[in-house]
């Protein structure tokens, strides 16, 4: 329970303060200010090129890897700036995990994929590592399917299982927030369903932020929705942010309404 | 010409097939010729005796030892420096004057005929550093010769590791060093090994550069400061000076078998220990 006495679902896990993002001379995001609540699922939706993924990648500083990137404003994790110079970037990325659009398992065994993160962070004990691997694979409901082939290459798994393995790999470092960048877009409907169920379970412990192209998915899984769009200067902005049910039943902004009723995008 | 798409398709297919068959035929002919004439010469004493009367009689024990030692030395020196340079180029610098200079040097060095390396090794290691004709001089010279190949293949392999692997690694809170050594390097290991195997092949096959730097002594070396003769040099001398065509073929067959074995064993080792994931 937080100090303020709020339920975790009401407390802000991540806050962005007038965030601006430039890739070289290209202005990608303008003045994004929003608060993301703990233990809930927040969906970022909007047409292609509106800066959804760019925003998501700011939350664990993945954009830092791109040369020429400039970030203005600030992003707070539990009230602390993650862009503060004194912050250890590995600790931030450990606390804010990420699952990508395409399954990107490492070309090594299933077991090694899971334990690589904990090993980076100093877990050496073998039985402890085995315990982590079992519990993470169980959390993503993959344990029964792979428990006998843990030493086999992760690349031999079908895509849906690979993506669940990627989620398990992210869970293995005990993150507090999980970012999912269109993590179902490369999967078949059945795998998508499994991952959506998984998200709902994980949201009891973690704060989950997803970027999705599918409005149906946003409605199905998310508690909060953020609608983004490019403005007249072709810069990504946050148009509307509210509870998902409210946004989809009664959008406040005309642009949101046009988008969710399928008039464009 | 006014050909239908189908006719063109047929012509293209025939041409491609013909090219493949021709190459295969030439390759088979060469290998068959060497093995047919060479294999009967190879027996236990050929492998274990040192050459007698300039190689007319006896075996090739000392050239085998010389080949193995020089190749090992060259690879041991060149591999760490080559991979280090490749990692530096691919991971630790942005493209700039220095990287372009290093890459340009490596590419130029790769195109230099081996005899030039031999001359350099002779002047620098043999004469100037006073190492004489020795396994050490030969190994160092060959190390310089294969360095560009190792750098280029390793850099290419490291660069071809997808960005998504790096992103995934960083997203787990890995540092740059952890990402490079635990994810990038293991993913690139197959390409890197291919470069090393290629280089080993070049070392074993090299004649000009080793003759100028390691000499052509027939006795067994007792240290790396002794001169020696590699199998390729032995073969060259036997053939050119008309000493023994029979033993020349025997040596050639042995060279082919050795290179084949190295390929098989290296691949097995990589599969077994490094590239478990794939």
Select from B29, B58, B73, B61 the least CA-distant residue to B254.
Answer: B61
Mean pLDDT within B190-213: 91
Q: Is residue B97 part of a domain?
A: yes
Facing residue for A107 by CB, picked from B170, B172, B187? B187
Question: Is A62–B169 a contact, with Cβ atoms under 8 angstroms apart?
Answer: no
Domains of chain A, earliest start first: 8-102+177-264 (3.40.50.300)
DSSP state letter for B221: P
Contact A95, A177 (CB under 8 A): yes
Domain ranges, residue B241: 56-155+188-277
Q: Which residue of B has its CA nearest to A95?
A: B173
Percent of all residues in chain A with a pLDDT value above 90, rounded to a whole number: 58
Q: Is residue B93 part of a domain?
A: yes
**Is the ipTM above a cut-off of 0.90?**
no
Select from A184, A64, A154, A84 the least CA-distant residue to B170.
Answer: A64
**A51 in contact with chain B, both atoms CB, cutoff 8 A:** no
pLDDT computed for residue A6 by the predictor:
56
pLDDT computed for residue A223 by the predictor:
93
pLDDT computed for residue A186 by the predictor:
82
Residue pLDDT, tens place only, B95-119 = 788 888 888 888 888 889 999 999 9
Q: How many CA atoms lie within 13 A of B77 on its CB side?
A: 19
**A149 in contact with chain B, both atoms CB, cutoff 8 A:** no
Mean pLDDT within B166-171: 92
pLDDT computed for residue A265 by the predictor:
53
Torsions phi, psi of A264, nearest 5?
-160, 175
**Chain A residues with beta carbon closer than 8 angstroms to that of B174:** 90, 93, 116-117, 120
Report how far Cα A43 is from the mean position of its chain's Cα atoms.
9
Contact B171, B183 (CB under 8 A): no
**A103 in contact with chain B, both atoms CB, cutoff 8 A:** no
Q: Is residue B12 part of a domain?
A: no
Residue with tokens 């193995």: B68
Facing residue for A108 by CB, picked from B167, B178, B276? B276
CB burial class (10 A; 0-12, 13-18, 19+) of residue A221?
buried
Q: Is residue B145 part of a domain?
A: yes
pLDDT computed for residue A79 by the predictor:
87
Residue pLDDT, tens place only, B75-88 = 999 999 999 999 99
- pLDDT of residue B271 exceeding 80, the answer is no
Count how many domains chain B has. Answer: 1
User: Residue A96 and residue A187: Cα distance in Å, rounded?
Assistant: 23
Q: A41 CB contacts (<8 Å, ≥6 apart)?
A: A199, A200, A203, A208, A209, A210, A221, A222, A223, A224
CB burial class (10 A; 0-12, 13-18, 19+) of residue A258?
middle
User: Residue A101 and residue A51: Cα distance in Å, rounded?
Assistant: 15
Select from A249, A253, A250, A248 the least CA-distant residue to A225.
Answer: A248
Residue with tokens 């299933």: A110
Residue pLDDT, tens place only, B206-249 = 999 999 999 888 888 888 899 999 999 999 999 898 888 889 99
Secondary structure, 3-state, chain A? CCCCCCCCCCCEEEEEEEEEEEECCEEEEEEEEEEEECCCEEEEECCCCCCHHHHHHHCCCHHHHCCCEEEEEEEEECCEECCCCCCCHHHHHHHEEEECCCCCCCCCEHHHHHHHHHHHCCCCCHHHHHHHHHHHHHHCCCHHHHCCCCCCEHHHCCHHHHHHHHHHHHHCCCCCEEEEECCCCCCCHHHHHHHHHHHHHHCCCCEEEEECCCHHHHHHHCCEEEEEEECCCCCEEEEEEEEHHHHHHCCCCHHHHHHHCCCCC
Query: What CATH number does the domain containing B211 carry?
Result: 1.10.3720.10
CB burial class (10 A; 0-12, 13-18, 19+) of residue B151?
buried
CA gyration radius, chain A: 19
Q: Is residue B174 part of a domain?
A: no
What is the band of B58 on the pLDDT scale with cuts at 50, 70, 90?
confident
Query: For chain A, which ranges sit under pLDDT 50?
Result: 1-4
Q: Is residue B84 part of a domain?
A: yes
Distance from CA of B92 to the nearest CA of A (A): 13
Facing residue for A117 by CB, picked from B167, B172, B275? B172
What is the band of B275 on the pLDDT scale with cuts at 50, 70, 90?
low
Q: Is residue B205 part of a domain?
A: yes
H or E stretch at B206: none
pLDDT computed for residue A41 by the predictor:
94
- pTM given for the model: 0.81
Contact A208, A199 (CB under 8 A): yes
**A165 in contact with chain B, both atoms CB, cutoff 8 A:** no
**Chain B residues with beta carbon closer than 8 angstroms to that of A92:** 173
H or E stretch at B58: strand B57-58
Facing residue for A106 by CB, picked from B171, B175, B277? B277
Question: Is A97–B187 a contact, with Cβ atoms under 8 angstroms apart?
Answer: no
User: Residue A257 and residue A248: Cα distance in Å, rounded?
Assistant: 8
Question: Is A106–B278 a contact, with Cβ atoms under 8 angstroms apart?
Answer: no
Distance from CA of A264 to the nearest CA of B (A): 31
Q: Is residue B215 part of a domain?
A: yes
- Give the angle subtended at the CA of B27 by the CAs of B21 and B31, to the nearest 5°: 145
Contact B256, B30 (CB under 8 A): no
- Report the DSSP pairing between strands A26-37 and A69-77: unpaired
Instruction: For residue B81, give both structure tokens.
Output: 């420096």
Interface of A with B in 182-201 (CB under 8 A): none
């Amino acid at each position: 329970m937080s100090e303020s006495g709020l339920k975790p679902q009401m407390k802000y896990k991540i806050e962005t303060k007038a965030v601006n993002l430039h890739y070289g001379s290209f202005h990608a995001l303008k003045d994004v200010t929003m608060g993301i609540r703990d233990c809930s699922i927040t969906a970022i939706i909007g047409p292609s090129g509106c800066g959804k993924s760019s925003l998501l990648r700011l939350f664990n500083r993945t954009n830092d890897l791109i040369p020429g990137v400039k970030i203005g404003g600030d992003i707070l994790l539990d009230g602390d700036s993650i862009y503060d110079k004194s912050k250890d970037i590995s600790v931030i990325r450990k606390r804010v995990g990420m699952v990508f659009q395409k399954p990107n398992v490492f070309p090594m065994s299933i077991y090694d994929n899971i334990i690589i993160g904990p090993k980076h962070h100093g877990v050496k004990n073998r039985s402890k590592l085995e315990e982590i691997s079992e519990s993470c694979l169980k959390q993503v409901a993959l344990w029964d399917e792979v428990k006998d082939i843990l030493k086999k290459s992760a690349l031999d798994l079908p895509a849906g299982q690979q993506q669940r393995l990627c989620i398990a790999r992210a869970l293995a470092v005990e993150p507090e927030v999980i970012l999912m960048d269109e993590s179902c877009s490369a999967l078949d409907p059945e795998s998508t369903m499994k991952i959506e169920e998984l998200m709902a379970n994980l949201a009891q412990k973690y704060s989950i932020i997803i970027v999705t192209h599918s409005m149906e998915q946003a409605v199905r899984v998310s508690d909060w929705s953020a609608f983004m769009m490019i403005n007249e200067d072709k810069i990504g902005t946050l148009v509307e942010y509210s509870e998902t049910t409210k946004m989809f039943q009664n959008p406040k902004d005309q642009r949101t309404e046009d988008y969710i009723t399928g008039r464009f995008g | 010409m006014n050909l239908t798409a189908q006719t063109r398709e047929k012509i293209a297919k025939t041409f491609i097939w013909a090219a493949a068959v021709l190459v295969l035929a030439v390759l088979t002919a060469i290998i068959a010729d060497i093995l047919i004439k060479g294999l009967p010469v190879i027996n236990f004493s050929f492998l274990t005796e040192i050459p007698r009367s300039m190689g007319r009689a006896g075996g090739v024990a000392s050239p085998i030892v010389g080949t193995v030692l020089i190749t090992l030395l060259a690879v041991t020196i060149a591999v760490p420096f080559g991979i280090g340079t490749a990692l530096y180029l691919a991971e630790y610098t942005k493209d700039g004057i220095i990287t372009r200079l290093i890459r340009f040097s490596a590419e130029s060095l790769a195109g230099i005929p081996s005899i030039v390396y031999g001359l350099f090794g002779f002047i620098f290691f043999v004469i100037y550093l006073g190492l004489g004709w020795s396994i050490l001089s030969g190994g160092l010279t060959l190390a310089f010769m294969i360095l560009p190949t190792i750098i280029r293949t390793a850099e290419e392999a490291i660069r071809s590791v997808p960005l998504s692997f790096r992103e995934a690694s960083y997203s787990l809170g890995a540092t740059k060093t952890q990402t490079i050594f635990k994810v990038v390097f293991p993913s690139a290991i197959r390409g890197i090994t291919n470069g090393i195997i290629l280089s080993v092949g070049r070392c074993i096959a090299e004649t000009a550069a080793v003759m100028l730097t390691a000499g052509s002594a027939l006795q067994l070396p007792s240290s790396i400061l002794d001169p020696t003769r590699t199998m390729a040099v032995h073969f060259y001398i036997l053939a050119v000076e008309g000493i023994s065509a029979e033993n020349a073929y025997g040596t050639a067959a042995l060279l082919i078998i050795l290179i084949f074995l190295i390929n098989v064993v290296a691949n097995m080792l990589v599969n077994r220990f490094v590239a478990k994931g794939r």
